[in-house]
């Protein structure tokens, strides 16, 4: 008889909880913003609910401050892209520098000491010769210019041919169009001014 009453009491308690009653854990559980709290839980204050909400971005009310903020953001983005380009990160590279063939061309050029990288220094010397009076100096300068151009063209052809051969072996199916001119243009720039920066040392085997 007593067991019967105990069982009935437990069943009535379970029915009350299933009908919508709250337990101690549910009462202790904090209410989320934007969600109606269950029965038995106090409604959160408006200040607490507003603090829990995500605040949207608000532009500065001052037009001058907004313009300065926009300029600073653009300056930071350009600086980040420039640094990534110098490190050779693919997402920051222009289309002409993308691809494994172009990366191979850069490595081939950077691993050798070429005549073309001294092109700018030679141009300065030639300009100084042209400023000197006399026909002999001009004739010498013209001859040096022609010889320099011939050497740069030959070096670009040689390096471009090497890059194409290596690209066909390592990256079959990849386009090599324009890679010879790409290697030539990188070869006539000074090593410290090349972008992306060289990732190999002189004399490294490619």
Mind listing the pLDDT tens digit for each residue in 30-64?
444 455 555 565 666 666 655 555 555 566 667 88
Give the pair of three-digit tokens for residue 198: 């060289």
Q: Which residue has the higher pLDDT, 198 or 66?
A: 198
Q: Are residues 104 and 186 in the same domain?
A: yes
pLDDT of residue 38: 56
* Domain membership flag for residue 19: yes
Q: Say how far apart CA 63 and CA 73 lie, in whole Å.
A: 15
pTM above 0.85, yes or no: no
Q: Are residues 99 and 177 in the same domain?
A: yes
Are the beta carbons of 190 and 117 closer than 8 angstroms?
Answer: yes
Q: Say how far apart CA 161 and CA 158 lie, in whole Å.
A: 5
Q: Say how far apart CA 170 and CA 162 lie, in whole Å.
A: 12
Task: Return the minimum-mean-pLDDT range out of 75-89, 107-121, 186-200.
Answer: 75-89
Q: Are residues 33 and 132 in the same domain?
A: no
Mind listing the pLDDT tens digit for each residue in 72-82?
888 888 888 88
Q: Say how far apart CA 30 and CA 53 lie, in whole Å.
A: 15
- Greatest mean pLDDT among 6-10, 118-122, 153-157: 153-157
Q: Are residues 180 and 102 in the same domain?
A: yes
Q: Is the peptide bond before 196 cis (omega within 30 degrees of 0)?
A: yes
Q: Residue 150's CB: how many other CB atoms inside 10 A?
A: 10
Q: Say how far apart CA 162 and CA 15 lie, in whole Å.
A: 84
What is the total count of domains within the chain? 2
* Domain membership flag for residue 86: no
Domain, as residue range, for 147: 94-206
């Amino acid at each position: 008889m007593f067991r019967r009453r105990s069982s009935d009491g437990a069943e009535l308690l379970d029915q009350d909880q299933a009908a919508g009653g709250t337990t101690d854990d549910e009462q202790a559980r904090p209410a989320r913003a934007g969600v109606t709290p269950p029965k038995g839980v106090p409604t959160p204050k408006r200040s607490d609910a507003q603090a829990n909400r995500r605040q949207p971005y608000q532009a500065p009310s001052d037009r001058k401050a907004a313009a300065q903020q926009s300029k600073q953001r653009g300056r930071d983005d350009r600086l980040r892209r420039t640094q990534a380009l110098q490190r050779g990160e693919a997402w920051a590279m222009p289309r002409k520098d993308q691809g494994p063939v172009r990366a191979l061309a850069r490595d081939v050029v950077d691993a050798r000491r070429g005549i073309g990288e001294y092109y700018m220094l030679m141009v300065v010397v030639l300009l100084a010769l042209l400023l000197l009076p006399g026909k002999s100096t001009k004739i010498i300068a013209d001859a040096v210019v022609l010889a320099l151009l011939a050497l740069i063209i030959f070096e670009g052809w040689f390096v471009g041919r090497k890059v194409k051969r290596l690209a066909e072996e390592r990256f079959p199916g990849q386009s090599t169009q324009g890679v010879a001119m790409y290697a030539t243009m990188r070869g006539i720039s000074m090593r410290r001014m090349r972008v992306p920066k060289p990732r190999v040392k002189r004399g490294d085997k490619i």
